[in-house]
Chains A and B, each alone.
Chain A
Amino acid sequence: MSSSQVLPESAPPAAAGRADLRPEHIRDAVIRLAGNSQDGIQTAGAFLARLAGRSAQDVMTYMTIPSTISGGPSIFQVRIGSGEVLSAGDEADFLVAFYQHSYDDHIDFLREGGVLLYDSDHVQPNLDDKRFVYVGVPITGLTVEALGGTAKDKGKNIFVLGLLANIFHLNAEKLKELIRERFGGKDQSVVNTALTAFQAGYAYPVGNVLTTLYEFEPSPRASGRAQVTMDGNQALAYGLIAAGVRYGAGYPITPWSSIMEILRSEFPKYGGLFVQAEDELASVSLALGFSYSGWLAVTGSAGPGISLKAEAIGWASMAEIPLIIVNVQRGGPSTGLPTNVEQSDLHQAVFGGHGDSPRVVLAPATVEDCFYIALEAARIARKYSTPVFILSDSSLATRIEAFDEPDLSELMQDPKPNLSPRPAGTKPYPLDAITQHAPPGTRMLDSKYPVVTGLEHDEMGHPTASPRMHAAMTAKRRTKYQRLAGELPLPQVHGDPSGETLMVGWGSTFGPILEAVTRAREQGESVSSIHLRHLHPLPDGLEPVFERFRRIVVVEMNDHGLYGYGQLAALLRARFCNPKIESFTKTDGLTFRVREIVEGVLK
């Protein structure tokens, strides 16, 4: 916790606690809740995140969920800050341990001087270790006492939420409102139970054992826009809706499933439809059918499912059908680490087709960017009649962030199938223009109706094996991406525009890399960074940016491979033939800590 000397202007809210305790003002806190997956710590953590969002604080969460069906250790980490929060935090300021294993596994993550809040009914910490502040609360016993024996282990999460609300002077009324909203759809008794648990935690005299209570500084946010709080899969799903996508199909797989669950319920509200298909092959085929019928559609999966879709995506390249393919990456290959994070599907996205089948690959940087990347993907898919990959990942999918509410009235797209009659001589595959198909239902005024096809074809879509035509059509299908590369914005360099080291990142490493730049510069290092959202094609104009640095270090969460370069690093080296390009990668299935990047890049 970074504390400041700002004195409170008024007395802290009348929570139970010692009257002589004055809150210490903090800008930023990392709170890690460690328990089992069925304890509802995600729910408690999400309340903290939502509250921070509503209080105009910046927030970022990080969680691990075991891949077992029920139970198993799980954590939820919330970082709340009054300034910009870029990563989930290298260390915790505050660790809540529900069980002995939670304590054993996570105590090393607590910073020196940090607070361990533990359930004294389950956890026996090593009190001789003087690095930490120990606060034992019989969480289980007190929860049962408050709720009655039938509650068993339920309600501990909300009890802890009450405790934290007291310790951090959080707005209890707002939290209760969130609890009512969250459980309001259920039986009134559920809301009452939750509020009782919350009140019990909030009233616990934690001030008797903890000498400092905290209060967040007011946020200096100036955008004037309200904040919305959601996870990356939600942001991506609602981004697709804002982009006018109304149809799609998918098959369940972690961590993609929640996108399809949202779209299945949301699309019908907009007159559209999301189909749960029998398998990945059918889901991509359905999505292509929707797109062919005039409605740009979405399908998605994680790496293994994308492999199954690969053949049909090849058809989309050849037949030039627009399509959005979401890949929420996880640890691979095969079933791999289904609930961990990795960025190891970049080459699959860029090169995973058979034949010469270039496609567009984008990657969102943050939860907020998951929303905007969907709009960008839809824009490109429609304009260039092409499959577009969105490479999200497991950490973006599951973490919650607060961000400025998008201006929907400005952004909302509403494209309908273009069924206006096509003039005589319309060619489905013109060599001198980008393909724009006439969907079925469109009158062709010369009565020549088009067939979209996966066979090599001439401009009219007739199959042909003519060597000249295959060369010309291959070039046609390639040049549209070269044209796209020319229209992409060149990303800004963060830090000085020239110097010793330029870090290059993509996807969810955006925040940690940015924080690493700040930290390294504080240490006097000459470090800058650039972040790529468009990975294929790459935007034109990167060479002069690279020229101005002595080292280019690509930071990514995948293996450096047989030849020593991670997947983006290999792509950049192939593209620019620049021997300055180095690679820094890791494959532990976890998000980057800021320290890891600083040490890894500056080694």
Chain B
Amino acid sequence: MNPVVPPVAPEREKLTKKAVTADHPTWCPACGDFAVLAAFYKILEKRQLPHENIVTLAGIGCSSRFPYFVNSHGAHFIHGRSVPLASAISLARPELHVFLFGGDGDGLSIGGNHLDHGARKNIRMTYVIMDNFVYGLTKKQTSPTSPIGYKSKTDPTGAIDQPVNPIKKLIAAGATFVARTHAAQVNHMIQMIERAMDHDGFSVIECLSECIEFFPGAFDAGNPRKGGEFKTIEEKKWDNTPEDEERHDVTDEIAAYRLANLAFPGVFGVFYEIDRPTKNALEQKWIESSRAKLNGAPDLEILQTTFNRMK
């Protein structure tokens, strides 16, 4: 048999916007998601991660089309289950940068349970929930974040169910980085995603991203260009000034809830950020202690020893 000669890898080129751009998005013109994609391109250009180590993942929904528009390894999975899919990739391949994109239906309704457990287990990944308060891909049904009174095809007289508060849900479940941003605020969005990337743990950003087709104007109240107010969270600087007393301590869970309870459009920024060991680290520790007990025995020897005990 001829030996297989692996092709020689050429020198790396700089990761330009062109290099990370793939298919043209299928979103409606003026959809908020374009801005999220543009922000992600900018971050990839800025960070210059090894191209092959970027993984873009999604479930199902308008925003979940994301992986097709990013030139990176990626998977377009099934509805609601992208967090466990991403978890496995993160756990098995620590060198990869796992980015997960999805919408409110995918993450907070059908995938709501997985969101809780991903948060509780603190699995390392960066998850952007592009929240538009409506099911867009299926053309205007009530979503888990639709405000009471919102008229959809499934609630023609107005939504009656209490919407999910994603920030409170995430904090309660144990997420270690929880932030909120607005697709019309590109710089803030970039800042939030970058901070999430740098956080060692389950980091989630709720990004209000307008559905121009089925819920136009939903987030105008948080957009100064539309007459609203984009109010950001002032984080503590720990500088012993009287002003600092008023600022938000991102490690204070109760304070984070209080901010999350503010009436719509609420505030934007980092609500909660703490250090807690990731499942990645804890499992790795277990793997290492299991292997240490075996003094580096090869796999064959380990299994043979097990079989010897069953003789």
Contacts and interface: CB of A to CB of B under 8 A. Distances in A.
A and B, one complex?
A: yes
B299 interface: yes
B291 interface: yes
B311 A53 contact: yes
A540 interface: no
Contacts of B77: 285, 288, 315, 454
A278 B117 contact: yes
B304 A273 contact: no
A601 interface: no
B307 A445 contact: no
A400 B75 CA distance: 42
A229 B309 CA distance: 9
Interface residues of B, number: 58
Interface string A84-103: 00000000000000000000
A133 interface: no
A441 B73 CA distance: 8
Contacts of A270: 299, 302
Contacts of B300: 408-409, 412
Contact of B299 (A281, A412, A421, A455): A412
Contacts of B117: 277-278, 282
A510 interface: no
Interface stretch (B81-89, B148-156, B188-196, B210-218): B81-89
A449 B73 contact: yes
B87 A286 contact: yes
Given A230-B310, A285-B85, A289-B88, A412 B93 contact: no
Interface in B60-119: 67-68, 71-78, 80-89, 91-93, 95-96, 113-114, 116-117
B302 A269 contact: yes
Interface in A103-145: none
Interface of A: 50, 53-54, 181, 226-230, 234, 238, 241-242, 247, 249, 266, 268-273, 275, 277-279, 281-283, 285-290, 292-295, 297, 311-312, 314-315, 319, 405-406, 408-409, 412, 414, 417, 420-423, 438-445, 447-455, 462-463
B19 interface: yes
Nearest to B113: A278
A399 B207 CA distance: 54
Interface in B221-266: none
A181 B307 CA distance: 14
Given A247-B88, A288-B88, A451-B75, A423 B307 contact: no
A40 B76 CA distance: 50
22 contacts: A50-B310, A238-B303, A241-B303, A268-B283, A273-B283, A278-B117, A285-B84, A290-B91, A294-B92, A311-B78, A408-B303, A409-B300, A412-B299, A414-B299, A438-B73, A440-B73, A441-B73, A447-B13, A447-B71, A449-B22, A451-B56, A462-B23
B202 to A, nearest CB: 14
B89 A293 contact: yes
B74 A228 contact: no
Interface stretch (B4-12, B128-136, B157-165, B176-184): B4-12
A289 B303 contact: no
A283 B84 CA distance: 7
Given A281-B81, A421-B9, A449-B71, A441 B95 contact: yes
Nearest to A444: B52
B17 interface: no
B303 A412 contact: yes
B137 interface: no
B75 A292 contact: yes
B88 A275 contact: yes
Given A238-B303, A292-B89, A295-B92, A448 B71 contact: yes
A441 B96 contact: yes
Contacts of A462: 23, 68
B169 interface: no
Given A312-B81, A450-B73, 10 more contacts: A226-B311, A238-B303, A285-B88, A292-B75, A421-B6, A440-B55, A440-B73, A441-B52, A443-B51, A449-B52
A447 B19 contact: yes
A227 B307 CA distance: 9
Contacts of B9: 421, 443, 445
A242 B303 contact: yes
A78 B6 CA distance: 55
- Which of B23, B84, B290, B307 is packed against the most chain A CB atoms within 10 Å? B84
B84 A442 contact: no
A9 to B, nearest CB: 26
Contacts of B91: 273, 275, 290
B87 A228 contact: no
A423 B6 CA distance: 9
Contact of A463 (B68, B114, B286): B68
B51 A447 contact: yes
- The list of the 5 closest CB pairs from A to B, nearest first, reads A289-B88, A440-B73, A285-B84, A282-B84, A268-B290
Contacts of A449: 22, 51-52, 71-74
A171 to B, nearest CB: 14
B287 interface: yes
Contacts of A293: 88-89, 92-93, 96
B187 interface: no
Nearest to B116: A278
Interface in B6-31: 6-7, 9-10, 13, 19, 22-23
Nearest to A311: B78
A279 B75 contact: no
Nearest to A314: B78
Nearest to A281: B81
Nearest to A455: B76
A313 B13 CA distance: 38
Given A420-B6, A445-B9, A315 B299 contact: no
B48 interface: no
A421 B11 CA distance: 12
Nearest to B65: A463
B52 A315 contact: no
Contact of A440 (B23, B87, B89, B114): B89
Contacts of B113: 278-279, 282
Given A285-B77, A294-B93, A454-B76, A405 B287 contact: no
Interface in B289-304: 290-291, 294, 299-300, 302-304
Contacts of A289: 84-89, 92
Contact of A249 (B19, B88, B93): B88
A269 B67 CA distance: 35
A462 B96 CA distance: 23
A314 B7 CA distance: 34
B269 to A, nearest CB: 30
A286 B85 CA distance: 5
Contacts of A319: 75
From B81, B113, B287, B304, name the one whose CB has the most chain A CB atoms within 10 angstroms: B81
B138 interface: no
B286 to A, nearest CB: 5
Contacts of B67: 451
A288 B73 contact: no
B2 interface: no
A453 B95 CA distance: 23
A244 to B, nearest CB: 8
